[in-house]
Amino acid sequence: MNVLDPRKIRNVGLFGHQSTGKTSFAEALLYTAKALPKLGSIADGSSQLDTEPEEIKRKGSIGLHLGSCEWNGCKVNVLDTPGDPNFAMDMRAGLTAIDLAAMFVSAADGVQVQTDRIWSLADEQHLPRLVILNKLDRERADFESALADIRESLSAKVTPVQLPLGKESGFCGVIDLVSMKARRAKDKTGATVEEAIPADLMDEAKMNHELLVDAVAATDDELTEKYLEDGDLSEDDLRQGLAKAIAAAEIFPLLCASGLQNIGVSDALSFIVASGPTPLDHPAKKATDPRTGDAIERACDPAAPLSAQVFKTVVDQFVGKLSLMRVWSGTLPGDGQLLNTSKGSNERYTQLVTLQGKKTEVMPQAVAGDIAVIAKLKDTSTGDTLCETKSPALLADLPKIKPVITYALKPKTKQDEDRIANALGRLADEDPTLEIGRDVEAGETLISGVGQTHIEVTVERLRRKYSVDVDLLPPKIPYRETIKGSVKNVEGKHKKQSGGRGQFGVCIINLEPNRGLGYEFVDKIVGGAIPRNFIPSVDKGIRGAMVKGVYAGFPVVDVKVELIDGKFHDVDSSDFSFQMAGSKGFKKAFLAAKPILLEPVMNLEVTIPEECTGDVIGDINQRRGRVLGVDAKGKNQVIKAQAPMSELLTYAPDLRSITSGRSSFAMEYSHYDEVPSQLAEKIVAARGKNRDEEDED
């Protein structure tokens, strides 16, 4: 569909906790609009959107998927986002590219943790939303209790515009509270039959119609006057007022559906087209002129200078890199050259496409407000801004999610080792939440991600897409060594004589703790006991010993060394001699100054259902954690705590087990703290470090 008018575009994202039926609904929507040839299901592997082997294996989305269709003269772009918090980056990216967020709630399960978190993020953006109460055909599905839960957990401004026709397995259609008509599903094609509201549901429908009119009238002074004069609003006034209130995020309409049975889907699609916000309702996009640094705005106007932003990168084995972008202003032609203002480079492309799951369809152009895809851009990555060379603009980068868990990768063969760096780089291009690093101390390749499932999926993709096979190992915790005591007048002596020129250097040092201030070297040499040119050599030798560690082989931190005296030989002293003297003296002093191990401590914020609070707090305590506070948020509890990193390596799956998957958590580094002595002894023993060992040349 070649759209030239932003008013004919709707960009809607599907969000919610995992297993709320977003993908089934998206497929039913696209199928109903004849954009997909059949109605697929992730449950039996026939999904048209969740086609990655990792998604089929887990029976759920692990990435953002794009589809589009035509309905009632408008183009509807649909972003289906994952509900698993392990893949929250795609969810966050989806929020930045849409004009309307459809929040999914299972009628049988109510509002779950991830839905609540996404709602809060959408609130921060003042993003228009609607709620789709899905799975109304399920056993235990209850409209009234689900609505009460939604209003308590999400917003009191959630207002039904539909009621369900039938309950549980008898759910067969919806009652439209705007037109006051019932629409019954004919079959799974999405076709409906309009009929009068059943007599036994008329009173409930009238009551909810009045509540809807009240809510809409309260958002507009002119409608308030009409309502007070006439006691009701016309259907046209109600529709117009509702559309305006939705765009302003003053009302969040609630729709009823069963995506799997394709009930209520065509009604939702019609509602989104008729009452959903257009790209013109989105505030002008704030940007920066990279030439001057001045703040500028890019309004949704096809005639304005072009500006687009990549919100998702997909690396396809056959097509190559696909850049999904929202066009914020101007018109993106079917081929040409663009300026990547984020990288300062030019990009040429020969074709513009859109996606239906994994299938591509050519687009002649994309106007402001549309979503488009370009293949094989060389330098462009997620978050980059693309524009015209003559009118550059730089949009703010996308929100970032910090990795919270790290594992080590061990290639199984030499061939795997040779290919791993390039393969990991490609996966990181596709997934900005992945961080690839190297632990020089342990000689390990490290991969950091949002959770254990995130890392496991990455390893599966590494094997499937790039034929790189690895073992996943917990990394060595980055412990540090320091001291609690002080020592004085410790001699470090290096002396060798084996014919010819010898080696001789002596230094005498004091050592004391320097907690939180790092390493400090103080030169207190007087009277030329050590020549000035050899004093930096002592410092260098101490630094070398600190890097390798003394107590257990971990780097030393937070110590103060005073060089107070020494001896030298006119012939045998050298830079190397005093490096060795400094190293030996420091090691001897360190072991005498009550050495201890330090471990990284993490800040932890856990969101859980209230009934899981005791179990989760007990688990944190068992991990040597300390609970700092517990706050209520809707029907959930937010626990703030601190715990050692070593105790949190398996926290994601363990928390999921404790809460039956109804939880999420965020974790970040806080500080280093002392390892309890009994644990420190075990760590030292495991490292196999002989404390009395001294390096000899």
pLDDT in tens, 557-584: 999 999 999 999 988 999 999 999 999 9
**Burial classification of residue 101, based on how many CB atoms lie within 10 Å of its CB (0-12 exposed, 13-18 middle, 19 or more buried):** buried
Task: Tell me the CA distances in angstroms from 22 to 15, 28, 131, one per residue in order.
Answer: 7, 10, 12
CA-nearest of 116, 202, 122 to 153 is 116
Domain extent listing, the chain: 6-281, 289-395, 405-473, 481-593, 598-681
Distance CA 115, CA 516 (A): 41
Contact between residue 91 and residue 14 where contact means Cβ atoms under 8 Å apart:
no
Contact between residue 324 and residue 30 where contact means Cβ atoms under 8 Å apart:
no
**Burial classification of residue 584, based on how many CB atoms lie within 10 Å of its CB (0-12 exposed, 13-18 middle, 19 or more buried):** buried
DSSP 450-500: SSHHHHHHHHHHHHHHH---EEEEPPPP--EEEESS-EEEEEEEEEE-SSS
**CATH annotation of 6-281:** 3.40.50.300
- Residue 244 CA neighbour count, 13 Å, CB half: 15
Contact between residue 368 and residue 328 where contact means Cβ atoms under 8 Å apart:
yes
Please indicate whether the domains covering 289-395 and 598-681 agree at the CATH topology level.
Answer: no
**Burial classification of residue 646, based on how many CB atoms lie within 10 Å of its CB (0-12 exposed, 13-18 middle, 19 or more buried):** buried
Contact between residue 402 and residue 439 where contact means Cβ atoms under 8 Å apart:
no
**Burial classification of residue 602, based on how many CB atoms lie within 10 Å of its CB (0-12 exposed, 13-18 middle, 19 or more buried):** buried
Using the structure block, give the residue that is written with the tokens 């609607």.
130
Distance CA 298, CA 393 (A): 8
pLDDT at 660: 85
Return the bridge partners of 304, or none: none
CA-nearest of 414, 448, 451 to 434 is 448
- 672 by DSSP, 3-state: which? strand
Q: Could you tell me the strand order of the sheet in which 74-80 lies?
A: 65-71, 74-80, 9-15, 100-106, 129-134, 252-256, 158-160
- The CATH architecture one would assign to domain 405-473 is 2-Layer Sandwich (3.30)
Q: What is the 3-state secondary structure (H, E, C) of 624-670?
A: CCEEEEEEEECCEEEEEEEEEHHHCCCHHHHHHHHHCCCCEEEEEEE
- 519 by DSSP, 3-state: which? coil
CATH class belonging to 598-681: alpha beta
Q: What's the N-to-C CA distance of the chain in angstroms?
A: 75
CA geometry: angle 88, 94, 100, nearest 5 deg: 125
Using the structure block, give the residue that is written with the tokens 């991830």.
114
Using the structure block, give the residue that is written with the tokens 């907690």.
515
**Exposed e or buried b for every residue in 486-516, given b needs 16+ CB within 10 A?**
ebeebbbbbeeeeeeeebbbbbbbbbbbbee
Give φ, ψ of 187 to 5 degrees: -160, -165
Query: Which residues in the chain show pLDDT less than 70?
Result: 404, 440-442, 475, 498-500, 634, 688-697
pLDDT at 695: 42
- The CATH architecture one would assign to domain 481-593 is 2-Layer Sandwich (3.30)
pLDDT at 697: 38
Using the structure block, give the residue that is written with the tokens 């037109």.
179
Task: Tell me the CA distances in angstroms from 175 to 72, 161, 198, 437, one per residue in order.
Answer: 20, 8, 9, 56
Using the structure block, give the residue that is written with the tokens 């309307």.
100
**CATH annotation of 289-395:** 2.40.30.10
pLDDT at 692: 42
Contacts of 383 (CB under 8 A, 6+ apart): 309, 310, 311, 342, 397, 398, 432
Contact between residue 135 and residue 260 where contact means Cβ atoms under 8 Å apart:
yes
Return the bridge partners of 439, or none: 444
DSSP strand E in 342-397: where? 345-349, 352-356, 359-363, 365-367, 371-375, 385-387, 394-395
Distance, CA of 523 to chain centre: 49
Sign of the CA dihedral with 552 first, then 555, 559, and 560 last: positive
Q: Which H/E stretch holds residue 226?
A: helix 221-230
